[in-house]
Structure 1
Amino acid sequence: MGRIATGDPHSPVAEAMAVSGGRIVGLGSVDELDGLTGPSTTRLAPDGVVIPGLIEPHAHVWVSLLTLDWTDVSHAACPRIDDVVAALRAAAAATAPGQYVLAKLFDPSLYPGEPALTRDILDRVASDRPLVVLNASMHFAYANSAALAAAGITDASPQPAGGTLEKVDGRLTGIVGESPAVMMLLAPLPHPSADDIARGIRQVLTEFAGRGVTSMREAMSGTLAGVSEVAMLHRLNGAARLPVRVSTAQFSALPGCATPAEVAAMWKAAGVTPFSGDEMVRADAWKIVADGSNQGRSGYFLQPYLGETSGGHANWTPEGLREVMRAGLDDGWQLMVHTNGDAAVEFALEAAEELLPARDGDLRHRFEHASVTTDDQLTRMAAAGVSPSFLMDHVYYWGAAFRDTILGEARAARLDRLASAYRAGLRPSIHSDYNVTIVHPLRSARTAVLRRLDADGSVLAPDERVSPAEALAAITTHAAWQIHADDRGMLRPGMRADFAVVDADPWTADPEGWAEIGAQETYIDGVAAFSG
C-alpha cells in the first residue's frame, strides 16, 4: 500500500498492510505480505501516507446540525462587535416577517469589554420577529423580546433548575444560561424534518472524515430529539453506512423528567443501554454537566473571576450531583462529567472518590475539558480511575483572554494541562467540542505541542507543552481507549482497518505544519468511507 505510519511506537512504519474481514492481518514489506494475497485480492496504492484513523472523543452532532444554516457571528467572521450587529441586521433583512432570525458562535470574551447582546440591543436589530443568538460555548443564548415571548419566558418566569434567566431589577435581560434555560428558549423553533436531520448528520460527519477522523463520541445525545436520537443514527447507518463510527453519550437531563432516575428509565425503555448497538453506532456513556463556560464566566472556580466577586457556580447541589452520578453508575454507564473550573473539578472529584470505589468494571470514567486543574486534582483523578479529555484549542483561541481579562496569569497557566496529566500517570485525550471549535485533530495536537496563542503568538505555560508523540497519542490511542475502542487508533495486526490517507506523516513531520496536513480518503474496516 505504499508508505504507512502505524502509530505503533514498536513498529512505526510499514511498506504494506493486509486486511481481511475488516481487520489488519499483516503489516510489513511487500515481500513479507505476498503470501496473504490471492486472485481475489483488492490492491490499493493511495497517493499519500496511510495513518491510523483519528479519534474525536468529544463533539456535538445534534446541536450542531440544528445550527448548520444559522448566521455565523463568530469572532473570525465578525472581528468587531459592530460587525456582529451588522451581520444580524443583514440576516434580519433577509428573513421573512414572523420567522426566526438565528445566529451562532458569538463570543463576547474575544471583544474588548466583553459586550453582551442584550434584548434591548437585539430589539433594535429586529423588533417584529424572534431573534436568537447562540454563544460559541453553547452554554448561553441571547434573545430579543419577541423570542422570549415566543418561548413563554416572562419577567415572572421562575429560574429553571440548573439554568439561568438573567434579570436586572426583575426584568429579563435576554441572556439565558445553561442547557435547561437555553432549551426553554429554543423549544418553539421548528424541528428539522427527517430528511434535514439525515442531510445534516451526514454533512457534519463528512466534515469530520475530511479531517481524517474515523471514530467520534457524540457528547450529549438526546438534546434535540430526545431518546429517539440513537435509533435515528442506527436507521441512517442502515440506509447507507455513516462516514464515521459514532459512540454516544446519553444526556442525563431531559425535558419532562423530574429526576435523573426518570431520565435513566427513559433511555432504558428506548433500548439504549450501556454498550448496546453495533460496530458503527454504539451507546457508551452517561453525560453530566457540572458547571458552565469559563469564557462565559459560568465555569465554577475556587477563586473569583478577574474584576468580579463570584467564581461562577455549580449546576448541581452536592446531593444532586451524587444522585445523577448514581443513576448512570447503577445502569453500568461510563460517566462523562463536564468540569470546566477548578472548583467544578473538585466538586466532581469528591463525588467520584466517594462513589467509584464501590463499583466494579473498567468503565474509564472521564472528566470533560478539566480546563483548570491543580496538581493534587490530577493525582487524585488517576487514583480514582478518571481520565481527562481536554479542549486543547481553549489555549489557542481563548488563552490570551483567560490570561488578561478572565482568570489572570497564574490560573491561565493551569489551562489544559496535558503535560501534567501525563506526569500524573493519566491517559488524556484532546477534543474539539465541535462546534465550539472546528474538528481538526492535527491542529489541536499542534496546540498541545506549541501552546501558542492565536491572539498574540505568545506561548502559554511552556512547561505544559508535550512531545509530538504524546500529542498524537491523545488523538489516536488514548482517545480510542477513552471511548472503549481498543481495536482502533493504531495500525497493528488484529486491529480494525480504520485508517486515513493524508499528505504527510505527522509522526515525522514538523508539528508546525500539522494543521496543513490534508486528508484525502478515510477507510472503515478497510472499505472506503470518505474521498475528498
Structure 2
Amino acid sequence: MQESLREEPAADFVALGGTVLALDPAGRRVRALAATGGRITALGSEREISGLIGPETTVLDLAERTVIPGFVESHNHPAFFGMTLAAPVDAGSPPNDTIADIAGRVAQAAKELGPGEWIRGFRYDDTLLADGRHPTRADLDPVSGRNPVVLTHVSGHFCTANSLALREVGITAETPDPPGGLIVRDARGEPTGVLVETAAFLVTSRLPGQSAGELAEALLLADEEYLANGVTSVHDTGIGLIGGAAELEAYALLRRAGKLRVRVRGYLFHDLLPGLAEGTPEAPDTGGADDKFAMTGVKIVADGSIQGKTGCLAEGYTCDPDEHGMMLLEPAELGRRIAALDAAGWQVAVHGNGDAAIDAIIDGYSRLGSPTGTGRRHRIEHCQTVREDQLDRMAAHDVLASFFVKHVYYWGDRHRDVFLGPERARRISPLVSARSRGIHFGLHSDTPVTPVPPLEGIWCAVRRVTRQGKVLGPEQAVDVDAALRGYTIDAAYLAGEENLKGSLEIGKLADLAVLSGDPTTIDPDRIRELTVEATVSGGEVVWRRETAGVTR
C-alpha cells in the first residue's frame, strides 16, 4: 500500500522500477518513491507512484537498480581533498614505489612551473615505499631547482619540505619544536625536512595559493567526487585545518553563488575558535545555517596516527616498544577545552587513534556532569584502538564514535605485523563490540587519507579483509544492514540529523544514491564492485552515468 504525506496531482520527482531500501526502523523495501519540494512524499508500488507523474515530473527509471538513502560521510576533509586533486605531484603509492619515483615527479613539476612557484604533492606513504622512510630535503633539493617543495603524508600528520621551503617559512636549526610537534633533525641538529604533527602546520599554514577563491575551487572538485560516489552529505571535521579562516570564506563564497551541492556539516578546527584557549569560547551562531551548510561543532586533535607512530598508545608500539606516540594536547588541557566547549553549547568531536588518547578523551567527556552526558552527542573520531573497558565508559556517558573502518584494508597488515601486533590489530574499529553496547557510530573514509567510495567502506565493515587478502578480526565484522546504516542513518545521528536524512521516509530530504545492484542480496565480497549510477539531492538528479535513464 502506498504511504503518502498528502494527496497531490503530481510530484516533482519520481524514481521507480527497481528496489528501494528505505533503511527505516522497519527495514521497508518498496518499488518506487516520489518527492515534492525536495522532500519525500510517497513510497509504494510502481503502479501507485506512477499515478503521481505529471508533465513536469522528473522521472528516474531505475531499470531494476537499487535506491538507498544518499550516503552520509561522517568524517572527511573536503578542502584538503580538493587540493590533492589539483596538486601537480601525486606522491602516493601506487603509482610510486620508491622515493626516486616521487623525486622524478617533483623534477617534472619543476620543469613545468616557473622559478619560485611552490610545488605541492600529497599522499606519500613511507610504509609503502621500498626505501622504508620519509623523503627528506636531501632527496628533494637536487630535483627541485628554484622551487620550494612540500609533500604531505597520506595521513595528513606529516609533511616533508625541501631546503628552499624551509627557508621560506623560517625553519632553521634554532627553531624550537612546537607544542605537540617535532622538527626531525639530523646528527648535526639541522632539519631534515620532515615535520611531524603540529610542526607540519609551520609550513602548510603559510603556503601561498590558499585564498578563499582557490579553496572554493578545491571544494568544488571534492563536491563532484562526492556526488559521483553517492555521497549527499559530508561532515567536514576540521574546517580551517589546512586553509585557516579562508576555508570558512570559501564555503561562504559557494553558498552565495549557489554552487554547493553536497550538504556540509562543519566542525571548526579548535584553534580557530575565538576565546577557546582562554576558556571562554564564542557560542555557536546558528543564524546562518541552512540545509546546505551548518557549523555543527568543534574539532580537536588529541593525538596522531598509528602508522606514523604518533597515535598515543598505553602500551608501546610492537616495532618500537619504548615508543608510545604523543598527545598533541596535555590531558588536563584537553579536558578544559571539552568542558568549555560543552558549556558554550558546542558539539565536540575529538580525534583519537591510540587507546591512551581515547582514555583522555573519555575522561574529559565523563566530567561534564550527569552519567549520560549533556545530550550534545559528543564524538570520538577514528576511535581506532578503543578497548572493551573504554567502550563500556563510552556507553555509560553517551559518547558517539565515527570509526575509520577503511584502516582494516589499507593498513591492517602493517598494524598487525609492524605497529600493533596481532591482538591489538584484530580489534581496530571494533564495530560489533560497539554495537552490542548500543553505541551510535558512523563509518568514514577520512578522504583524502583513503578513497571516497562508501561502498568500499561497507565492504570493509562486512568482510574485514586486508590488502594481503587476510581477514583481520572476523568477530568484529557486522552485517550489511548495519554497515549501510553506518554510512546513512547512523551517520546522520552523529550530527543530530536523523529526523532529516539517512533513511527514506515521508517528510525527509529526497537524498538518494542509485546503485547498480542490491548490496543486501549479492555476495558480500562483491559489494565494493557495485557502482553508483545516479545521485539525487533534494529530488534533483545532481550526478548520473550515461546509462541512468532520466526523463522529464
- 5 Å-filtered alignment, 1:355-434, equals 355-357=368-370, 361-434=374-447
1:5-60 C-alpha deviation (Å, 9 max, x unpaired): 22235243112212122221221113444665666655443443222111101100
Whether 1:30 aligns to 2:42 is no
Distance 2:509 2:118 in 1: 45
Whether 1:171 aligns to 2:186 is no
1:148–1:409 Cα change, 3 Å: same
Aligned to 1:150: 168
Identity of aligned residues (%): 35
Aligned to 1:2: 17
Residues 35 and 539 of structure 2 are in contact (CA less than 8 Å); yes or no, is this contact kept in structure 1? yes
Whether 1:222 aligns to 2:243 is no
Whether 1:519 aligns to 2:541 is no
1:316–1:193 Cα change, 3 Å: closer
How many residues are aligned here?
524
Distance 2:147 2:540 in 1: 48
1:259-296 C-alpha deviation (Å, 9 max, x unpaired): 5348944xx6xxx6358510110110110000001101
Residues 216 and 245 of structure 1 are in contact (CA less than 8 Å); yes or no, is this contact kept in structure 2? yes
Distance 2:152 2:167 in 1: 17
Distance 2:489 2:275 in 1: 38
Aligned to 2:487: 475
Give 1:62's match in structure 2, choosing from 74, 79, 83. 79
Moved more, 115-124 or 140-149: 115-124
Distance 1:471 1:275 in 2: 34
Aligned to 1:86: 104
1:248-269 C-alpha deviation (Å, 9 max, x unpaired): 00110139x785348944xx6x
Moved more, 61-70 or 303-312: 61-70
Distance 1:2 1:263 in 2: 55
Residues 66 and 192 of structure 1 are in contact (CA less than 8 Å); yes or no, is this contact kept in structure 2? no
Aligned to 2:362: 349
Give 1:53's match in structure 2, choosing from 47, 70, 73. 70
Offset at 1:63? 2.2
Offset at 1:80? 3.5
Moved more, 470-479 or 518-527: 518-527
Distance 2:133 2:243 in 1: 33
Residues 373 and 398 of structure 2 are in contact (CA less than 8 Å); yes or no, is this contact kept in structure 1? no
Moved more, 434-443 or 17-26: 17-26
Offset at 1:143? 1.1
Q: Structure 1: where are the runs of 5+ without partners? A: none
Aligned to 1:15: 31
Residue 2 of structure 1 aligns to a residue in which SS? strand
Residue 182 of structure 1 aligns to a residue in which SS? helix
1:463–1:11 Cα change, 3 Å: closer
Give 1:134's match in structure 2, choosing from 145, 152, 161. 152
Q: Structure 2: where are the runs of 5+ without partners? A: 1-15, 546-552
1:231–1:116 Cα change, 3 Å: closer
Offset at 1:219? 1.0
Question: TM-score, normalised to structure 1's length?
Answer: 0.92
Residues 73 and 491 of structure 2 are in contact (CA less than 8 Å); yes or no, is this contact kept in structure 1? yes
1:434-480 C-alpha deviation (Å, 9 max, x unpaired): 100111111011011111111x1111111111111111111111111
Distance 2:526 2:372 in 1: 44
Distance 1:12 1:357 in 2: 37
Distance 1:496 1:58 in 2: 21
Offset at 1:371? 0.6
Distance 2:488 2:391 in 1: 21
RMSD: 2.4
Aligned to 2:292: 280
Give 1:330's match in structure 2, choosing from 343, 352, 358. 343
Distance 2:381 2:527 in 1: 24
1:184–1:442 Cα change, 3 Å: same
Offset at 1:81? 3.8
Question: TM-score, normalised to structure 2's length?
Answer: 0.89
Residues 151 and 186 of structure 1 are in contact (CA less than 8 Å); yes or no, is this contact kept in structure 2? no
Offset at 1:350? 1.3
Offset at 1:86? 2.9
1:286–1:452 Cα change, 3 Å: same
1:176–1:356 Cα change, 3 Å: farther
Residues 253 and 263 of structure 1 are in contact (CA less than 8 Å); yes or no, is this contact kept in structure 2? no
Whether 1:440 aligns to 2:453 is yes
Residues 316 and 323 of structure 2 are in contact (CA less than 8 Å); yes or no, is this contact kept in structure 1? yes
Residue 409 of structure 1 aligns to a residue in which SS? helix
Distance 1:376 1:511 in 2: 31
Offset at 1:85? 3.1
Aligned to 2:550: none
